[in-house]
Amino acid sequence: MELNSYSHGYGQITYHIVLVPKYRHKIFYGSVMKADCEKVIRGICDRKGYKVISIHIGDDHVHLFLEFHPTDTLSGVIKQLKGESAVLLFRLHPELRKKLWNGNLWSAGKFYRSVGNVTADTIKHYITESQQKPVTVKGPEQSSLRQFLK
């Protein structure tokens, strides 16, 4: 995965997200239902500008590996995915309403974890080691700087 350049920044925003149907019902039981769920989620992501790096539809959960723009919030992305996909999947598969009678396709909870090319230990090491180098100041401001550092 590569770093991206944005108007006022440079970086990468990628998350592993898991969505679970209400009551953990195994609603994605068949190949048609799984294909429809994937198609719906990919369509939402395409429209909203989220990049699907990987997706897996299990019988009772959906794994997503997404990248999105820094102006999008994680909670906003998840809200968009859950809301739109529920409407579209209920429309495509009205029989879901019998199992999920209250009109909620997804459970209220969510799992998410930020993902990158480096580990937390690597970042911690970089920050602690790179900050240990002494700062040298040359010129007339050196004497005035010493009084603040004492």
Considering only residues 101 and 14, tell me which one the structure prediction assigns the higher pLDDT. 14
Say which DSSP state 25 is in.
-
For residue 109, is pLDDT > 80? yes
Instruction: Exactly one of 6, 23, 29, 126 is catalytic; name it.
Output: 126
User: Tell me, what's the pLDDT at 145?
Assistant: 53
Which whole number is the average pLDDT over 25-44? 96
User: Tell me, what's the pLDDT at 104?
Assistant: 93
- Residue 15: active-site member: no
User: Tell me, what's the pLDDT at 136?
Assistant: 60
Which whole number is the average pLDDT over 109-125? 86
- Could you give the CA distance from residue 62 to residue 77 in angstroms, rounded to a whole number? 15
**Mean pLDDT across the chain, nearest whole number?**
88
Least confident interval from 2-11, 87-96, 134-143: 134-143
Reading across the β-sheet that carries 62-67, which strands appear in turn?
A: 51-57, 62-67, 14-19, 111-114
User: Tell me, what's the pLDDT at 14?
Assistant: 94
**DSSP reduced 3-state for 111:** strand
- Cβ-Cβ contacts under 8 Å for 90 (sequence gap 6 or more): 96, 97, 103, 105
> Backbone dihedral region of 64: left (phi > 0), alpha (psi from -120 to 50 degrees) or beta?
beta
Which whole number is the average pLDDT over 38-53? 98
pTM for this entry: 0.80
In the chain the domains, ranked by start, together with CATH numbers, are 4-121 (3.30.70.1290)
